[in-house]
Structure 1
Amino acid sequence: MSFPYNQGHWLCVLALLAAQVVHADSKLLATGGASGIEGQAGGGIVPWAVISGYGDFGEWGGATALTRVNLPDFQLDVSSFSIAFDNRFEFSASRQELEVKPLGLTINQQVLAVKVRLGGDLIYTSLPQLSLGMQHKRNRDMAVPMALGTDKDSSTDVYLAGSKLWLNGLMGRNVFANLTLRLTEAHQAGLLGFADGYQLQAEASTGIFLNRHWIVGAEYRQKPDRLASVNEDDWLDVFVGWFPSKRFSLVLAWSDLGDIAGLADQDGLYLSLQLSQ
């Protein structure tokens, strides 16, 4: 499986690797999450309240990732990076390239995002970790969205996420859960443009650690269905994550994304490789 080359992305990879000489990694393994399709720390399709990387209070962290979602009629490639400080602030940027196979064209979208931890703690308090996030999206290729009836090329999602990890939970294993509430105008996460006016959507993730390196779980993302010409279905995935160290992780998932742009049964393989700091 080959991934697209992006010079800016690989410069971020080199910068992250160079930062190893001054890194701090006080957080527990896997508690920085993976990198989602919109670049922020979390699962594949749902942002979580966790902050990327392994820096704790007064420390820097971050991650960089390459992600591919291969569907019958589409292929989504994402390159992303995130920088975090104090286990409280996270900034991320990602580039999405959606290949529309039947038309032989590509839709490009850029996502700039910020996340702030409001309170609570993932592990050590009874209150879940709560974070507020924003994702500003700009669609650079509007031919397909305009053909489907929308001409708005940018918008900003706002979400509130709560995450909790229970140590020695179910059958003595660590158990994770996340709930995210999102205000969005996006059609298909912005890849098919944006509506006028926000709708509230719910998203959720859960997982159980088989041991300290492996987690299995599932995600759900509610989607607005606001394009008159085509349907938009909710997204689902089941995943397995491998965290051999704090520097590298891999997530493999089966994704069911339903109908996209009038093309039915878009389900397929999700793969994400991440370097963390």
Structure 2
Amino acid sequence: MEAIVMNQQQSKWIKAAVLSTAVFCAPVWASTGKLVLTGGVSTVEGAGGGGITPWAFIGTQATEKELGFAANLTQVETQDYSLTTYGATVGWNERVEFSLGEQVLDTGITGTALTGAGLDLKQQIVGVKVRVFGDGVLDSDTWYPQVAVGLQHKTLDAAALEPTLTSLGADDSGTDFYVTATKLFLKQGVLVNGTLRATKGNQNGLLGFGSNTDDSYELMPEISVAKLLNHNLAIGAEYRMMPNNLEAAGRNAGLNSGLRADDWMDLFVAWAPTKNLSLTAAYVDLGRIVPATTDGRSQTGFYLSAQLAF
């Protein structure tokens, strides 16, 4: 009960932070700002980057000696699930990024099958990212990338699903650690990013962390490639490997491969109609998510995101 109350308080705090950012950031936005789209958009976890993986670039429009803010809202729809995320980001001195985010997963038929009623899973995410070396724009004519390190602490409110996750040995909180390198080839209008994440998260943490058969950190690579078609329009693709901690635990519970997890990927289009507003649309393939209740369907669908950054 205390955990649920705490999660509700965290949720209210994050919502307040997002609303405050959206309402009050206009008077304090960065005075110069970055090239359009070079700050990335917002991931489903709140960090600056692509849609599903962070980049080494610091989010917001702030450059050196500036303070920047961003607010974002994202909707992901697949055959059986609906994910809504929103968050706020603060960037300082093109060096440090702080982010707050909340994810709300409507589990659809899975929730009905497991609990007999509709079920929303809520996850709060607090992140920090620090640029270690390199400048993705100023060093675009060199061979080395911009590199950053970061962490994301996640707290899950699994509601009626909590007893099931507990029986499988999945924790309700966990911390991801990552290092990410981003190389911008400015003349060619091409961006390449690689991220290596240490995580225990099941389906990004939305099904808890670890299991009673595998509770160790795993290193999961993530890749992004983007092509700038003109000054405010980009296309690209992302691939993010996911741990498969729950499958063995599910087998022990008689579910065969009913809790298998697959990697995530997307194909996206990002458009910045103004310097401060970016809109992203994507086709997503999140693989199988609790295939025991979804006839083993791969969860494909669409991703829509809006970010307001200063």
TM interval, short-chain normalised: over 0.9
1:112 aligns with 2:145: no
Which runs of 5 or more residues in structure 2 are unaligned?
1-14, 113-117, 251-258
Question: Which structure has more helix as a fraction of its residues?
Answer: 2
**Percent identical across equivalent pairs?**
40
Aligned-partner Cα distance in 2 for 1:211–1:253: 18
**Number of the residue aligned with 1:99:** 106
Aligned-partner Cα distance in 2 for 1:79–1:55: 20
Question: Which structure has more strand as a fraction of its residues?
Answer: 1
1:135 aligns with 2:152: yes
SS in 1 for 2:200: strand
Are the aligned partners of 2:17 and 2:88 in contact in 1 as well (CA < 8 Å)?
Answer: no
Are the aligned partners of 2:61 and 2:276 in contact in 1 as well (CA < 8 Å)?
Answer: no
Are the aligned partners of 1:36 and 1:42 in contact in 2 as well (CA < 8 Å)?
Answer: yes
1:179 pairs with 188, 194, 205, which one?
194
Residues 1:246 and 1:150: Cα distance change in structure 2 (over 3 Å): farther
Residues 1:153 and 1:232: Cα distance change in structure 2 (over 3 Å): same
For residues 28-83 of structure 1, the C-alpha deviation after alignment (integer angstroms, 9 at most, x for no partner) is 11111000000000011011101011111111112110000011111000010100
1:160 aligns with 2:174: no
| AA of the residue aligned to 2:300 | D
**Number of the residue aligned with 1:265:** 298
Aligned-partner Cα distance in 2 for 1:32–1:223: 25
Per the TM alignment, residue 123 of structure 1 is displaced from its structure 2 partner at its CA by 2.3
1:30 pairs with 31, 37, 40, which one?
37
Q: Which has the larger radius of gyration?
A: 2
2:206 pairs with 186, 191, 204, which one?
191
Aligned-partner Cα distance in 1 for 2:136–2:298: 36
**Number of the residue aligned with 1:66:** 73
**Number of the residue aligned with 2:265:** 236
| AA of the residue aligned to 2:223 | A
1:87 pairs with 94, 118, 131, which one?
94
Per the TM alignment, residue 7 of structure 1 is displaced from its structure 2 partner at its CA by 4.8
SS in 2 for 1:135: strand
**Number of the residue aligned with 2:256:** none
Are the aligned partners of 1:63 and 1:81 in contact in 2 as well (CA < 8 Å)?
Answer: yes
Q: How many residues align?
A: 267
Alignment TM-score, normalising by the size of structure 2:
0.83
Aligned-partner Cα distance in 2 for 1:130–1:158: 14
The CA RMSD over aligned residues, in Å, is 1.5
| AA of the residue aligned to 1:122 | G
Alignment TM-score, normalising by the size of structure 1:
0.93
Are the aligned partners of 2:70 and 2:89 in contact in 1 as well (CA < 8 Å)?
Answer: yes
